[in-house]
Amino acid sequence: MASEKTKKPSEMNPEDLPDVRAFQDEFTRGFLQSTEETRSGYYPFLSGTGKYKMDFPANGVISERAYSLEKKRFEAIAISDKINSSLIKVNYYSFIDSPSAAMRTLEQRLNMELNFEKKEMESHDIYTAPFQYDEGTYGYVASLISKEKNGEIQIVYSAECNKNKTPCIDAKKKDQERMRNWLKSINFNQKESE
């Protein structure tokens, strides 16, 4: 049984995995590093480039069709979470633009002006901004820029709220807090991954 603990989830018998959406999907399971939660509802994730790691939502699934990897230079991931009616798009770039260029790129992706806030972390800076498409569709964007020149990660989180179930303002506050906590889990790897 001890050997099962040291195996990666992709090497384990599917019947021995946690009964959550992330482990039920074979493609997503390939990125997960352990069946031990990093915190409640999240599991350790390592990117296909090996350049960053983060907490991965138990209810999330990576779309294989939307996944793109170009050696260690670029990676695009789309994570859908049907439980929270959200989609998270994560793009990793090995090169780093200036923060203003990164923010401009995100504005162009959304076709709107954004009001960014900066938060300094130990190894990177995080630039975040909320956005709203219409009354029920909203989200947040983020650019994480490595201070060690390990790259840049751009994130677009979008969600919909059902106005009949929960007031949108409550859903947005909850999502903003969830997003801020999740962003803190993302870290650039300092060394090349094998």
Q: For position 80, what pLDDT does the model report?
A: 93
Q: For position 2, what pLDDT does the model report?
A: 41
Q: For position 163, what pLDDT does the model report?
A: 60
**Residue ranges in the chain modelled with pLDDT below 70:** 1-6, 162-167, 191-194
Which residues does 4 contact at the CB level (< 8 Å), separation at least 6?
12, 16
68-70 vs 74-81, strand pairing mode: antiparallel
Question: Sign of torsion, CA 39 44 47 53?
Answer: positive
Q: What is the mean pLDDT of the chain?
A: 87
Q: For position 73, what pLDDT does the model report?
A: 87
Q: For position 12, what pLDDT does the model report?
A: 84
Q: For position 103, what pLDDT does the model report?
A: 92
Judge whether 133 and 141 are in contact, CB under 8 Å. no
Q: For position 193, what pLDDT does the model report?
A: 43
Q: For position 82, what pLDDT does the model report?
A: 78
Encode 134-161: b = buried (16+ Cβ within 10 Å), e = exposed.
Answer: eeeebbbbbbbbbeeebbbbbbbbbbbb
- 10-19 long-range Cβ contacts below 8 angstroms, 24+ apart: 18/43, 18/58
Rounded Cα distance between 41 and 55, Å, is: 9
Domain 41-188 is in which class? alpha beta
